[in-house]
Amino acid sequence: MNRLSILVALVATAFLFACSSEAPQDVDTQALYDQYGAEATAEGALPVEAVLAEEELYVGETVKLEGTVREVCQHRGCWLTLDTGTEREVRIDVLRDEDGEYKFTVPNYLSGQRVVVSGMLKFGEPDEEADADAPPRLEVDASSVLVEKARA
């Protein structure tokens, strides 16, 4: 075969593979996650470690963080923290309504589970016990929390 025939065969093969590949399926959020708070999807979620590495880009913005729960409020489920792989903490606070009531709460047994949290990222108040040179804690005022369901 000459070069032109080989080129035509390669282009035709590539075209056939491109046409036969399936379009990506929409992710069924309800099948993969338990949802708390406002309706949300996991699409576009950033690993908490990535946001922590470039926090100046995200503070003051609405973010979607993905991570593993380190600790949960055992009283009401009104806050949780995400494991960052460091000593630094990222705290997730549930939003309150006009009457001061929590808009939603999460189960208090989420430690170790994967979540996707949506909300406004901000710097928290300094911890009285923290080292004066320690970076400020990051907080998210959460509008939603998606908890990854256990896979069978």
Per-residue pLDDT tens digits for 102-131: 999 999 999 999 999 999 999 988 767 766
Q: Does residue 2 lie within any of the structural domains? A: no
d(CA 49, CA 90): 10
Give the pLDDT of residue 6. Answer: 45
Q: How far apart are CA 9 and CA 59, in angstroms?
A: 52
- How many domains does the structure of the chain reveal? 1
Beta bridge partners of 16: none
B/e letters for 51-60, b = 16+ CB within 10 Å, e = fewer, are bbeebeebee
Amino acid (one-letter) located at 104: F
pTM, entire model = 0.77
Task: Tell me the residue range of the domain where 94 lies.
Answer: 29-148
pLDDT at 20: 40
Q: Is residue 23 part of a domain?
A: no
Q: What is the pLDDT of residue 73?
A: 96
Contact 55, 138 (CB under 8 A): yes
Residue 19 counted as domain residue = no
Among residues 152, 120, 140, the alpha carbon closest in space to that of 69 is found at 140
pLDDT at 27: 58
In this prediction, the residues of the chain whose per-residue pLDDT falls under 50 are: 4-25
